[in-house]
Amino acid sequence: MKNNILKFIIFLYYFSLIALLIIYLFPGSLIGYFLYGDVGKQPNLVDNPIGTSINHFFYFSYLTLLGLIYNSREKKFINSFLFLFILSCFLELLHFFIPNRAFELNDVLANSLGTVTIFILFIFKKKNSL
């Protein structure tokens, strides 16, 4: 049973990573297209003062959590953290070159904050469980 849960987490991690790449590299808002029929409109998951950057925080928190759980069995969770942290910055920088996309510093900060927050919580939990 535990092995099946881990396989499902691994599947979710890679599926979510591929979905992230597709969403980030699509010229315009793919989610906006499906929800509103408009590639120029970004969905806002939660009403907040920073706008759609909160979506970035949630997604990178989710992805980091999956990555850390997946890599914790091999004690390689620092590699997962570094990979996702660098990926979060790199993908946002690509928005300089992708049509209908714009680089936003708030998005980079939200991506990074989501990744770092989950990593710190994960390390804190690991130290308390020893």
* Predicted confidence (pLDDT) per residue in 13-38, tens digit: 999 999 999 988 888 888 888 888 88
Q: Is the pLDDT of residue 44 over 90?
A: no
Q: Is the pLDDT of residue 77 over 70?
A: no
Kind and range of the H or E run holding 15? helix 2-25
Find the angle CA(18)-CA(5)-CA(46) to the nearest 5 degrees.
55
Question: In this predicted structure, what is the pLDDT of residue 118?
Answer: 93
The pair of three-digit structure tokens given for residue 103, joined into one six-digit string: 């680089």
Task: Output 31 or 2, whichever has higher pLDDT.
Answer: 31
Kind and range of the H or E run holding 76? none
Q: What mean pLDDT do residues 104-130 have?
A: 89
* Cα–Cα distance for residue pair 17/21, rounded to 1 Å: 6
